[in-house]
Structure 1
Amino acid sequence: MPTDIVRYLTHPQVQIDPDVPVPQWGLSPIGRTRAEGLAHAGWLANTTQIISSGERKAIETAEIIAIRLGIMIEICEAMHENDRSATGFLKPAEFEAVADQFFAQPYLSVRGWERAIDAQSRIVRETEAVLARNRPGDVLFVGHGAVGTLLFCHTAGHPIDRAHDQPAGGGNCFAFMRDGRDVLHGWRKTEEIGR
């Protein structure tokens, strides 16, 4: 009997609005279209649990998939993206530079951001708490790029490093076996995943 699969999915493209707090950003039209396409992916057919971050963009992604699969989503507030509220919105070039520092110096708070090591501990703790329930079926976590990468690094046994970050644009997924936590594949665009 095949063992259950755990997947971590990042929300696709968002509607960027500097006047709205980042956790309240929703999906852009492109992001919504991608999520709707993903909802029909055959490789999600055995999913019995969908756990979403409490951020709007993740919830919107999770809801689109959950409606298609006929299951409820569970919101886990502690699975939010790394806390970047100290800087608020940063223009893309500045954001990328600070994100590089976030991963390169995991034990330091870069410009007041949550430390990478703390964000990793949080996302691993919350993931393991869900998996400890040991419910049958595949599990889908819907969240964010930075904490997703930190979870991937932990699961794969890699040190924290942005070299393991997801491809640009979001809407990427990595997967591992529930039993033994063996990684099945690293980040892949959802449109490129086959079963």
Structure 2
Amino acid sequence: MTRALYVTHPQVEMDPDVPVPRWGLSAEGRHRAEAFARSGVVPPGAKVFASDERKAMELAVLIALAAGTEFASDHRMGENDRSATGFLPPPLFEATADRFFAQPEESADGWERAIDAQRRIVDAVGRALANVPSGTHAIFCGHGAVGTLLKCHLANRPISRREDQHHAGPGGGNCFVFDTDSPKLHTDWMRMEDLSPGWMC
């Protein structure tokens, strides 16, 4: 059985004057990403995929270097489209995100609907896996919301914010493992620091 890993970018440098997809990792986020890449959990030769957002690609570069491979980026793996509102202060963002998950077939203030974002990420991951040789592990570098939507699909659970990464730890930098043959969810969210090399077995 072959397994894949979905990992979200850790902490970012937030700047209200810069479009969110162009935010990069903060000093803390880069430190965590570098430590993760050095931790021995990245299998040699793994295929690495990423959203085309800067923070996800910065994580993917480090993971691909550890794997001895290159990474492929795909805009379809990007975070849910929130451009209708742009940057929102944290309390307002959290309230809008609550509605995004609670009403997946409706748009929260112009945001991409959760049901549409879920179809997009599931399709993108499926297409990527179709190009991964048998027996080769895949690692996806992405985001919290679409990662949660993917996790809900893999676990055959309804879309709910109860499934999101914040239950593992704040600040991003969380991951889950899934089996690619079925495919189905193998673990719940965990901090990237808590992932062991045994995830590949």
Structure 2 match to 1:174: 176
| Alpha-carbon displacement from aligned partner over 1:165-187 (angstroms, at most 9, x marks no partner) | 00221110011111112322110
Closer/same/farther in 2, CA of residues 46 and 157 from structure 1, 3 Å limit: farther
CA distance in 2, matches of 1:47, 1:177: 18
Structure 1 match to 2:51: 53
In the TM superposition, residue 47 of structure 1 has moved relative to its aligned partner by 5.1
> TM-score scaled by structure 1?
0.96
CA distance in 2, matches of 1:70, 1:134: 15
- 8 Å Cα contact 1:50/1:72 also seen in 2: yes
User: Counterpart of 2:15 in structure 1: which amino acid?
Assistant: D
Identical aligned residues as a percent? 51
> Which residues of structure 1 form unaligned runs of 5+?
none
User: Counterpart of 1:188 in structure 2: which amino acid?
Assistant: M
Structure 2 match to 1:163: 162
Whether 1:75 aligns to 2:73 is: yes
Counterpart of 2:5 in 1: which secondary structure?
Answer: strand
CA distance in 2, matches of 1:103, 1:55: 22
| Alpha-carbon displacement from aligned partner over 1:129-155 (angstroms, at most 9, x marks no partner) | 111224131100100000000000000
**2:26 equivalent among 25, 28, 50:** 28
Deviation larger for 114-123 or 47-56: 47-56
> TM-score scaled by structure 2?
0.93
What is the alpha-carbon root mean square deviation over aligned residues? 1.0
| Alpha-carbon displacement from aligned partner over 1:4-47 (angstroms, at most 9, x marks no partner) | 11111100000000000000000000000000001023222255
User: Counterpart of 1:191 in structure 2: which amino acid?
Assistant: E
- 8 Å Cα contact 2:47/2:132 also seen in 1: no
